[in-house]
Amino acid sequence: MTAARGIPKRVLTTESPAIRWLLTALALGFMALFLVLPLAAVFVEALKGGWGAYWAALQEPDAWAAIRLTLITAAIAVPLNLVFGVAAAWCIAKFEFKGKAFLTTLIDLPFSVSPVVAGLIYVLVFGAQGWLGPWLAAHDIKIVFAVPGIVLATVFVTFPFIARELIPLMQAQGSDEEQAAQVLGASGWQTFWHVTLPNIKWGLIYGVILCNARAMGEFGAVSVVSGHIRGQTNTMPLHVEILYNEYQGQAAFAVASLLALLAIVTLVIKTWVEWRHERELKATAALPMEPVGV
């Protein structure tokens, strides 16, 4: 009892104050050098010519086409991955079947394959000299060097984010609540909508945020399948590369600053989601426990 009373409420570290200050300074210096400074440089270079030049660079027809294509691609890829990710997570976390490990490996495949290789795969399948190229050309269907190819490549590289966010969450929660709902007469859709979805909503939102951020910033796979057609198949990252290669630094940094701004907004939303989740967990833990009936 005496030993228990003597345990301090706060666990003290064994490092000296000098070591703690040194480690903190190194961490802050690393963040300032490799994160804050480059981000600040982007906005400084973008606004170097004044607000007039900045807005002119963003309102240029090719830049506006790249912005619009980026938003359209994300608007298509994220909902598709939302459906695929939830279905894959539900299947893996709630059921046991042969090939489950193989399916899990397939979900992780985009993490291990280079985005450039992923784009090349779509060119080999849907390109003019690919497996399906002659048939697509005969029916006047364009996949590669067109918007469908960009969407397919983006869906591929962003597929794991939602599924990988939900699989461990669903596995930790188990299936007791779903089974109880089905015993009480709930249908499969009612069980998912009223039981499963409320339990995974924060993980789902978090996965959607990460998926959307990657979809808007994807470069490698999209670069291979896009064809770099200005005003048609260039997304914002590709447009930044073209402008920079043409020595249009102000315009390149202007579009890059918009991408950086979207990334900052994504981080703010991500932080808000984490704060809301933590607040909800604390509120749930503070609720009084229901007495167990005898």
Characterize 135-162 residue by residue with b for buried, 16 or more Cβ atoms within 10 angstroms of its Cβ, and e for exposed: ebeeeeeebbbbbbbbbbbbbbbbbbbb
DSSP string, the chain: -HHHHHS-SSPPPSS-HHHHHHHHHHHHHHHIIIIIHHHHHHHHHHTTT-HHHHHHHHHSHHHHHHHHHHHHHHHHHHHHHHHHHHHHHHHHHH---TTHHHHHHHHHHHHHS-HHHHHHHHHHHHSTTSSSHHHHHHTT---TTSHHHHHHHHHHHHHHHHHHHHHHHHHHH-SHHHHHHHHTT--HHHHIIIIIHHHHHHHHHHHHHHHHHHHHH--HHHHHHH---TTTT--HHHHHHHHHHTT-HHHHHHHHHHHHHHHHHHHHHHHHHHHHHHHHHHHHHHSPPPPPP-
What is the pLDDT at residue 122? 93
Q: Which of 245, 252, 260, 251 is nearest to 53 (CA)?
A: 251
A 10 A CB-CB count for 258 gives 21
pLDDT tens-place values along the chain, 294 residues long: 444 444 444 555 677 888 889 999 999 999 888 888 988 999 999 998 889 989 998 889 999 999 999 999 999 999 999 999 999 998 898 888 888 888 888 898 998 889 999 999 999 999 888 899 899 999 999 999 999 999 999 999 999 999 999 999 998 888 888 888 888 888 878 888 888 888 898 889 989 999 999 999 999 999 999 988 888 999 999 999 999 999 998 899 999 999 999 888 888 888 888 888 788 878 877 777 655 454
1 Cα distance to chain centroid = 50
pLDDT at residue 282, rounded to an integer: 81
pLDDT at 1: 43
Tell which residue, 112, 115, 126, 137, has the closest CA to residue 217: 115
Q: Are 42 and 49 in contact (CB under 8 A)?
A: no
Residue 103 has which token pair? 């399916």
Residue 46 · residue 253 · CB < 8 Å: yes
Find the Cα–Cα–Cα–Cα dihedral 128, 130, 136, 138, rounded to 10°. 60
State residue 247 phi and psi, 5-degree precision: 60, 30
